[in-house]
Amino acid sequence: MALEIRDLHVAVEGKEILKGVNLVVERGATNALMGPNGSGKSTLSYTLMGHPKYEITRGKILLDGASLIEMTPDQRARHGLFLAMQYPVAVSGVTLYSFLHAATSAVRGYGERTPTATRGRLNSHLMPMREFRQELNEKMAFMEMDPAFLQRYLNEGFSGGEKKRAEILQMALLKPKIAILDETDSGLDIDALRLVSEGINTLQKDLNMGLLVITHYQRILNYIHPDVVHVFVDGRIVKTGDAKLVDVLEEQGYEWVRQGMG
Amino acid sequence: MIERLDESLPDIGVTPQTAQILAPGPKSVALLSDLYDEPDWMRQARHEAWQQYEAMDLPDPKEEAWRRTDLKAYPLDSLRVVLSARELDGIYDLPPCWDYALAPVDQVSGALVHCNGARTYAIMRRDDALSGVILEDLHIALKTHGDLIRGTWMRGATTRPGFNKFTALNAALWHGGTFIHVPAGVRVARPLQSLVALDAEGGTNLHHTLIIAEPGSRVTLIQDRVSQDSQPELNAEVVEIYAGAGAWVRYVSLQHWSEHRYSVTVQEARVAENANFVWVAGSLGGKMTKDFLRSDLVAEGARSMMAGFSFVHSDQHLDQSTYQHHRAPNTHSDLLYRNILKDQTRTVFYGMIRVEPEASGNTMAYQANNNLLLSDARAHAIPGLEILANDVRCSHGATVSRIDDEERFYLEARGLPKPEAQSLIAQGFIRPIIERMPLAHIRQRVEDEIAERFWL
């Protein structure tokens, strides 16, 4: 039960960015992936989620043994993969409520039970409103979010902290098996970071979720403790160790790893 | 709380079984006046309008407003006025597909339903009726408010018989109409609703709407149009709105014409001193539609806010000419029209802002037309400015865009299949306008209908 990445090579517009990534994220485990800017960390996270811009030239991505590469992004999400984005996209006119209702319903398979012809009008592809509303209220309280948020447009005009809280709220509703956190600490002050991290830790326990925490700095790792730490430089993992590796990196910087490679 | 007022129909000697069909012509013009026992001035007005109609050519396709909508496709030969009297025993007698167009009765101050031109149902909240608020069939109102109607009848810049052949036709043969009068200072508690429905035997729609809001009054009309046509049909409709000094008037104009209906509508609002006019127009149906939508800010402090949305699919053609006319200082107008185009559709937006010399001084006019293409549809946007005054702030803009890939990826990454992600984004595109409509029932109905269309 894991996310397995085998010899993954990825190119963007003909230029190779990922040069053979090997990584296994077990359910319940926390893997940290640390690397300098421009090393390809975000390319990895977008590739795993299926962004069409990234072309896989070689390798495998498996989730519980099933290949993700042939799946569309929505199929991957329904299969249990979640990407908390560094820059959540604003979608004007779509209220947070209607989005959460649609996404939760889709991931829980309500849409698949509905013939296309009867969609829309009767909202038959959506989870029953009362049931959804109740669960949503609990999760909103858990993330200390004001219900007034639900009527705002998705991520539009949200502060950095509000965006990240909304990402974790989505994670709580979609209940993934594996979650990738892409620079989740960026743009968060210390209180927001604590709240978001506690949310993630609780969800990990409840869902036995595997975490891939992608970060430049150690900051978030003070709150979300990694079992395994990978150092990512120039499109591949160059070093793997336990949590102590974080402190070494913080002291000596990525230059130390680069020299070690030389 | 709700009571049915007098629902007696004028005795025109027809029943659903013996519906009469009038061909266009001077005899039919006179017959309508006879049937409704109209005052002489209306008889005369119809007669003159018919003469104008006969003397006029169809609009010249070289004219800017008609360059992109080909009237040759219009079913001008199938013109006919259908007279049928259908009285409903209650709102629940409406065909189910129309019933849902109406908001629950306890959410409105009054409702008026026309079916095939005949007044079929009317209710009015007692308190509003006692305040003197009138929502009534125009034929009936001619008897009770004849002088008031005569004083304003078809005197607009566009809402006049001579504007084009279609307004002349409406002036001569109008049949079925919605009349609203709100006395000075009276605030209508809840929205009024009008439904103009035509079934397969409905024929040409020649509905005429007249709203007179006296100074200091406040009123909302939600007017919806539906049809079930079995053959190409014509719609030649006129809406006249008068917002008196300090009045607040909101007109929500929706159309759900069938895919067989070809339409020309002319709607004009005259906004007096310190009056506010709020317009929300929603176009979902029709084969080809041409709308002239105009707000005239005629006195200092007048404001108008025009908003519109449309969702066209299949091979629909939607053409709108808007006109924001500033004739006094310190007048503000704002316009936001958004269209979603699916399949092989085409939309035309011709938006004009005109500021007269006498409007100098703190006048503001804004206009935006945004089009979202979901396919290889075509959207034409032609903004126009005629500024003859100083100390005026004006801006206008038009955009044509497609669904943003990053927005779509974000929604897909949260489990929504591509078509669902697109539908959500597209609905979001027009939601700011839908939110300007009153009553959750109406908003939900429109949103459901749009969601449903997405899967067609």
Residues B42-56 have a mean pLDDT of: 98
Mutate to test the interface with A, among B284, B414, B418 (most CBs of A within 10 A): B414
Q: Does A109 touch chain B (CB under 8 A)?
A: no
Confidence of residue B13 (pLDDT cuts 50, 70, 90): very low
Q: Is residue A258 classed exposed, middle or buried when 0-12, 13-18 and 19+ CB atoms within 10 A define those classes?
A: middle
pLDDT value of residue A257: 79
Interchain pair A99, B411: CB under 8 A: yes
Residue of A nearest to B429 (CA): A93
Considering only CB atoms, which chain A residues are within 8 Å of B418?
Answer: 72, 74
Interchain pair A94, B418: CB under 8 A: no
Q: Does B96 touch chain A (CB under 8 A)?
A: no
Interchain pair B453, A89: CB under 8 A: no
Of the candidates B407, B415, B452, the beta carbon closest to that of A89 is on: B407
The Cα-based distances of B200 to A4, B186, B225 in angstroms read: 62, 39, 14
pLDDT digits (tens, 9 = 90+) for A117-132: 555 444 567 899 999 9
Of the candidates A93, A120, A170, the beta carbon closest to that of B414 is on: A170
Which amino acid is residue B342, in one-letter code?
Answer: K
Q: Does B31 touch chain A (CB under 8 A)?
A: no
Interchain pair B455, A120: CB under 8 A: yes
**Rounded Cα gap, residues B317 and B296, in angstroms:** 27
Interchain pair B417, A83: CB under 8 A: no
Residues A172-186 have a mean pLDDT of: 96
Residues 6+ apart with CB under 8 A from A70: none
Mean residue pLDDT of chain B comes to 92
pLDDT value of residue B97: 63
pLDDT of B127 higher than 80 = yes
Q: Check the CA dihedral B87-B92-B94-B95 and report its sign.
A: negative
pLDDT value of residue A42: 94
> For the ranges A161-175, B111-125, B394-408, which has the lowest average pLDDT?
B111-125
Return the structure tokens found at A255.
């230059």
CA B217, distance to chain mean position in Å, is: 21
More confident residue, A261 or A181: A181
Side-chain half-sphere exposure of B76, counting CA atoms within 13 A? 13
**Rounded Cα gap, residues A93 and B407, in angstroms:** 12
Of the candidates B413, B428, B455, the beta carbon closest to that of A94 is on: B428
Task: Name the DSSP class of A107.
Answer: H
8 Å CB contact between B319 and B348: yes
pLDDT digits (tens, 9 = 90+) for A66-100: 999 999 999 999 999 999 999 999 999 999 999 99
Q: What's the gap in Å between the CA of A159 and the closest CA on chain B?
A: 18
pLDDT value of residue A260: 66
Q: What's the gap in Å between the CA of B388 and the closest CA on chain A?
A: 36
Three-state secondary structure call for residue A190:
helix
CB pairs under 8 A between A and B: 100
- Paired residues of A33 in beta bridges: A214, A230
Considering only CB atoms, which chain A residues are within 8 Å of B412?
Answer: 50, 72-74, 77
Of the candidates B404, B413, B429, the beta carbon closest to that of A93 is on: B429
Considering only CB atoms, which chain A residues are within 8 Å of B256?
Answer: none
Interchain pair B452, A170: CB under 8 A: no
Q: Check the CA dihedral B46-B47-B52-B58 and report its sign.
A: positive
Q: Does A92 touch chain B (CB under 8 A)?
A: yes
Residue of A nearest to B431 (CA): A93
**Rounded Cα gap, residues A160 and A184, in angstroms:** 10
Structural domains of chain A in order of their starting residue, each with its CATH number: 2-88+176-261 (3.40.50.300), 90-157 (no CATH)
pLDDT value of residue B88: 60
Considering only CB atoms, which chain B residues are within 8 Å of A119?
Answer: 451-452, 455
Interchain pair A94, B455: CB under 8 A: no
Type and span of the H or E element at B355: strand B346-355
Interchain pair B425, A94: CB under 8 A: yes
Rg (alpha carbons) of chain A, rounded to whole number: 19
Considering only CB atoms, which chain A residues are within 8 Å of B451?
Answer: 119-121
pLDDT digits (tens, 9 = 90+) for B56-80: 999 999 999 999 999 999 999 889 9
Residues B406-410 have a mean pLDDT of: 97
Confidence of residue B14 (pLDDT cuts 50, 70, 90): very low
Chain B residues 371-390 with CB within 8 Å of chain A? none
pLDDT value of residue B201: 84
Return the structure tokens found at A14.
């003909």
Q: What's the gap in Å between the CA of A127 and the closest CA on chain B?
A: 14
Residue of A nearest to B415 (CA): A74
The Cα-based distances of B426 to B309, B371, B401 in angstroms read: 12, 10, 11
Rg (alpha carbons) of chain B, rounded to whole number: 21
Q: Does A33 touch chain B (CB under 8 A)?
A: no
More confident residue, B16 or B23: B23
Confidence of residue B7 (pLDDT cuts 50, 70, 90): very low
Interchain pair A153, B428: CB under 8 A: yes
Nearest to B180 by CA among B118, B245, B133: B133
User: How many residues does this entry show for chain B?
Assistant: 456
Longest dimension (CA), chain B: 69
pLDDT digits (tens, 9 = 90+) for A9-44: 999 999 999 999 999 999 999 999 999 989 999 999
**Rounded Cα gap, residues B352 and A191, in angstroms:** 52
Q: Does B414 touch chain A (CB under 8 A)?
A: yes
